Amino acid sequence: MSLDTAATLAAAQRHTVRTLVAAQAVGAMGITIGIATASLLARDLSGSTQQAGLVQTAQVLGAAVAAFWLARLMSRWGRRRGLVIGLVTGAIGSLLCVLAGVLGSMPLLLFGAVLLGTTTAANSAARFAATDLALPEHRARALSVVVWATTIGAVAGPNLTGLSAWVAQRLQIPELTGPFAIGAVAMLVAALILACWLRPDPLLLARQHAEVTVATPAGTSWGRVAEVIRAEPAVGAAIAGLALAHAVMVAVMVMTPLHMDHGGAHLRVIGVVISIHVLGMFAFSPLVGWLADAIGRAAVLGAGFAILMVSLVLCGFAPEGHSWQILVGLFLLGLGWSFATVAASTLISDLTPLHSRTDVQGSADMVMGLTAAAAGALAGVVVGTLGYAALNGFAGVLALGVAVAAWVAGRSRVSG
């Protein structure tokens, strides 16, 4: 590679990361602003505590399906079009959630949540877009910076529950639907940023300089994914670690607002706790990325497992309502997720050939979403029958799989 080509790619990488950071900062607010109220709205519409987690489960399930769909779009048209389509579809879903609250329709709420999950898939895919032009030794840091950008909107989102109540009053819609109205606007702004400024497309540029031609996919791409996993088992381990860490996080996070609400915690207090959780998920990701580049992906994945286990112990012993255990536990839940997600995602990018990259990345996010959707669905049943403490025990069993994934990944040539 000539010096001029290297300089061109480096400049394109810097521009790509800056654009993704701006879009993530805005788009993340659209996703997270409804976290603190989604389970409460579902409970009110369904009249059942056991169904309270279904809206988040539907969103996670929608993200799983959309991850595979968007990956195929990106394989054909590049990152920009896929990300924009995901954000616009999510905005439509958010508006349907508002309509569901107005009409008092639980089925419509779940359908809107499924579409809203498309934005989650797009935001997840953005972290992979940051690695398309990155040098291998800087890949984890590039990915983690985009993950970090989510902090700006994600922490602000749950804290806007007060503003969303004012917006709901002005629009004459139910108070718990206000966050979804604000979220739709944020998603559309993020889509506009990407549509205008994510040029050149990082994936298409990377293929151009690598002289890789990817034909329009016919049928499923699972064959290419299976081929990659057979050639490098650490890819399968990374996908498993990514999926299980996400399932642990989703299962506990979606039911925590109800656990606090049962103890009389105010909605604003619940919003603050969720913000602290989101802070743990995203704020320290640049440090996590630096560690993954410095000491290895597998070591960071193993550290994620350890942090997750500490968080589950704290949450499992937390009383109903507001407590220091729930505050610290939710923060560590997010931090453990960050360690596992950055490490596993970077491993996937490290070990996947460019011509199969979107297939594997999309499949990884699909598996992650399906696993988390199942865990989220079970979470409501477990809490409704056995209690919140039992839910954390159930999550601990899932977390053990992250440790196994870290051990397998430790045998990879790039993980340590």
Domain ranges of the chain: 3-210+222-409
CA–CA distance, 118 with 126 (Å, rounded to integer): 12
Mean pLDDT of 238-258: 93
Residue 413 pLDDT level (bands cut at 50, 70, 90):
low
Task: Answer whether 293's CB lies under 8 Å from 137's CB.
Answer: yes
Q: What band does 217 get if pLDDT is binned at 50, 70 and 90? A: very low
Which band of pLDDT confidence, cut at 50, 70 and 90, is reported for residue 1? Answer: low
pLDDT at 403 over 90: yes
CB atoms within 10 A of CB 238: 34
Q: Quote the CA–CA distance of 103 and 334 in Å, as a whole number.
A: 34
Q: Does 198 score more than 70 pLDDT? A: yes
- Checking phi first, is residue 199 left (phi over 0); if not, alpha (psi -120 to 50) or beta? beta
Tell me whether the omega of the peptide bond preceding residue 200 falls within 30 degrees of 0, making it cis: yes
Q: 352 and 360 in contact (C-beta within 8 Å)?
A: yes
Q: What is the mean pLDDT of residues 75-98?
A: 94
Position with higher pLDDT, 156 vs 208: 208
* % of the chain surpassing 90 pLDDT: 50
Residue 218 has pLDDT above 60, yes or no: no
In this predicted model, which residue has the larger pLDDT, 264 or 336? 336
Residue 15: Cβ within 10 Å count: 16
Q: Compute the mean pLDDT over every residue in the chain, rounded to the nearest whole number.
A: 87
pLDDT on residue 136? 86
Report how far residue 336's alpha carbon sits from residue 253's, in angstroms, rounded to the nearest whole number: 13
**Cα gap 57→117, rounded to integer Å:** 10
What pLDDT shows up at residue 414?
52
* Comparison of pLDDT for 62 and 162, the residue scoring more: 62
Q: Has this prediction a pTM greater than 0.75?
A: yes
Structure confidence at residue 219 as a pLDDT band (50, 70, 90): very low
What pLDDT does residue 78 have? 93
76 pLDDT more than 70: yes
Q: Are 36 and 277 in contact (CB under 8 A)?
A: no
Number of CB atoms found within 10 A of residue 86's CB = 32
Helices 139-156 + 3-32 axis angle, to 10:
30
User: May I ask the CATH architecture of the domain 3-210+222-409?
Assistant: Up-down Bundle (1.20)
Q: With 60 as the cut, is the pLDDT of residue 148 above it?
A: yes
37 contacts 55 by C-beta, under 8 angstroms: no
Top mean-pLDDT range of 27-31, 73-77, 210-214, 236-240: 236-240
CB-based burial label for 210 (10 Å; 0-12, 13-18, 19+): exposed
